[in-house]
Amino acid sequence: MTETNSQALREALDGTHPRKITLREAIGFGIGDFYGGGQLTIIATYLALFWTKFCGISISTSQTVIGLSALISAVAALMFGVFDDNLYRYSLGRRFGRRRFLLMIIGPMLLMGIFLWIPGMSVAAYALVYVFWVVLAQLFQTAYNPLPGEMTPDFNSRTKLSTVRMFISTGATTLIPLAGSAVLSVMGERTPTGYMIFTIGTTVLFAFAVFACWRSTWEMTPEAAGFGAWASGERHDGTIGLAGWMKRAGKVLREYATTLRIKEFRKHLSIYLLVQVSMDVFGQTFVFYVVYDWNRTAAFASLLLGCSAVSLPLMPVFGWAMTRIGPKRLYAINFVGCLAGVAWMFAAWMLVDVLSGAAWMAFTVVGALWFFAFKSLCGYLPWAVFPYIADIDQIVTRRYRSATFSGIQASFRQLGSGLATICVGLVLGAVGFDATLAEQGLTAKIGLAAVLLGWFACAMIVCWIVSAHLVINKRTDSIVLAEITRLRNGGAKSDVNPEVQGIVEHLTGLPYAQVWR
């Protein structure tokens, strides 16, 4: 970085007086993902089971409700993203904030989720409550995901926030099933009482976690976010009519379309979607793979899934590596490690009748520890990179639109998850897989391994290729922030440093003449 750019960055940081991100602030932010990650775990682990055992809902109806809710969530993500980013246009947002206002109202609204775990209601009532719960979770992610970029412009501090967040989220996904198992072992599984005590108690903890996050975080001022005095002077008619609503809908779609102009976001989005869909496919098929291809029990599969706890002490290492070697190199290490883990899982299948029981068990557990360590890094890295995407966009649009990026990313993720679920079912059905059978034919076993290991391997190879072209890192993000500050303070675009111009063009994919318009 040139001395001019370094000086501009220092002036930017001194001018905005950013608050220091200590471990206390990082925990205050990260505790929000106790709900963000934990609610997915509690729903995936217990909801369908509870509904079918104690609420009189068939498994097909249960899965239909859950599947359709994912599609509703995809639509909601698009609505919430632009809505949240533009709250500063209204007096409500300027008074309470655009991110933290939503966190403030989400906390108490989460308590509606208690009704998911009370037997005796109608199917329609459960469906309505679950749709509300899913939409509320999407609203939370819309407001929560942009906060690292809102709270600080510093690369290291943002990495600290993302690291603590993922540590708490991973801890929640690991500990919630263990705690539920402990409660059910004491209370029994034949009555709904144990399930209700655990799930309702956890729902209350989710509400407290969101409240604590609201109290511990802060966000950009309207001016810093690109909404200056002109925004407070806007007037919005109470009634705009059908034509007005159609015009606004068109503006929303155009707003989302403009996110895809950012070259670095397109790379990030490709990696994120492939990683997340791979996680979904893995979650749907791993237990079947252990039971039918390895001829082991579901309990053993649960034991291996518990190996994900290995990632908890590794989270600080991930954060350190993110700041020291950058996302591009760390992605390469990640995907190589994942491919080695996939090969290990395949080797365990090939050696199941070759090694002795103890030797095979040791080989498989070590392989699971390796695989889950790198799988957790797969989940960490996209969220560690995400806060910097809005910086790149800001030099193009002059606005900090992190929630808009979060919205389109979440919408694609939900659509991808739904399509992956359908495709997994179609492929397994085509190869003759039948979960009601105690044994599967060879074709079904091969198909199951191909879905689980083949898809994961192909996705990691594509992600590796895409990540090799990433430009964002600590240095380039600092240069972008310094250039934004220079332009905001009245600097002429014609005076841009050639190195800065080249970096901005590589990140945005646009000629420099088309930025800061």
262 and 213, same domain (yes or no): no
229 domain-assigned:
no
Q: The tokens 């403030």 sit on which residue?
A: 104
466 domain-assigned:
yes
Give yes or no for a contact between 143 and 84, defined as CB atoms under 8 angstroms apart.
Answer: yes
Query: Angle at which helices 263-288 and 298-305 pack, to 10 degrees?
Result: 150
Of 160, 192, 218, the position where a domain reaches its end is 218
411 domain-assigned:
yes
412 domain-assigned:
yes
User: Residue 233: phi, psi to the nearest 5?
Assistant: -90, 0
Domain, as residue range, for 389:
255-510
472 domain-assigned:
yes
- Distance between CA 48 and CA 37 in Å, rounded? 18
175 and 259, same domain (yes or no): no
212 and 261, same domain (yes or no): no
Determine whether 77 is exposed, middle or buried from the number of CB atoms within 10 Å of its CB (0-12, 13-18, 19+): buried
Give yes or no for a contact between 336 and 204, defined as CB atoms under 8 angstroms apart.
Answer: no
- Distance between CA 72 and CA 55 in Å, rounded? 23
What pLDDT does 18 receive? Answer: 62
363 and 414, same domain (yes or no): yes
- Distance between CA 347 and CA 515 in Å, rounded? 51
197 and 293, same domain (yes or no): no
311 and 202, same domain (yes or no): no
The phi-psi region of residue 490 (left if phi > 0; otherwise alpha if psi is between -120 and 50; otherwise beta) is: left
1 domain-assigned:
no
* Cα-based distances in Å from 482 to 402, 405, 497: 19, 22, 11
Closest CA relative to residue 471, chosen from 504, 436, 513: 504
Half-sphere exposure of 21 (CA within 13 A, CB side): 26
Positive or negative, the CA dihedral 59, 64, 65, 69 is positive
What pLDDT does 244 receive? Answer: 56
What pLDDT does 237 receive? Answer: 44
Four-point Cα dihedral 304, 459, 412, 31, nearest 10: 40
Give pLDDT tens digits for 149-158: 888 888 788 8
- Distance between CA 488 and CA 424 in Å, rounded? 50
203 and 270, same domain (yes or no): no
Task: Indicate the number of domains in the chain.
Answer: 2
In sequence order, the 6+-apart residues with CB closer than 8 A to the CB of 439 are 292
N-to-C CA span, the chain: 24
Give yes or no for a contact between 210 and 35, defined as CB atoms under 8 angstroms apart.
Answer: yes
Closest CA relative to residue 364, chosen from 380, 382, 341, 381: 341
What pLDDT does 239 receive? Answer: 47
190 and 119, same domain (yes or no): yes
What CATH number should be reported for the domain holding residue 53? 1.20.1250.20
Determine whether 254 is exposed, middle or buried from the number of CB atoms within 10 Å of its CB (0-12, 13-18, 19+): exposed
Specify the length of the chain in residues: 517
459 and 375, same domain (yes or no): yes
Of 198, 218, 238, the position where a domain reaches its end is 218
259 and 304, same domain (yes or no): yes
* Cα-based distances in Å from 477 to 22, 183, 359, 468: 21, 47, 48, 17
Count of Cβ atoms closer than 10 Å to residue 428 Cβ? 21
pTM of the predicted structure, to 2 decimals: 0.75
Residue type, 3: E
237 domain-assigned:
no
516 domain-assigned:
no
Positions of the chain with pLDDT lower than 50, given as ranges: 1-16, 230-241, 245
Q: What would the DSSP string read from start to end of 161-182?
A: HHHHHHHHHHHHHHHHHHHHHH
Count of Cβ atoms closer than 10 Å to residue 11 Cβ? 14
Positive or negative, the CA dihedral 402, 403, 408, 409 is positive
210 and 323, same domain (yes or no): no
349 and 423, same domain (yes or no): yes
Structure tokens at 484: 């934004």
Give yes or no for a contact between 396 and 517, defined as CB atoms under 8 angstroms apart.
Answer: yes
In sequence order, the 6+-apart residues with CB closer than 8 A to the CB of 118 are 196
Determine whether 269 is exposed, middle or buried from the number of CB atoms within 10 Å of its CB (0-12, 13-18, 19+): buried
Half-sphere exposure of 53 (CA within 13 A, CB side): 14
Could you tell me where the DSSP H helices lie in 86-154?
Answer: 91-96, 100-109, 123-144, 147-151
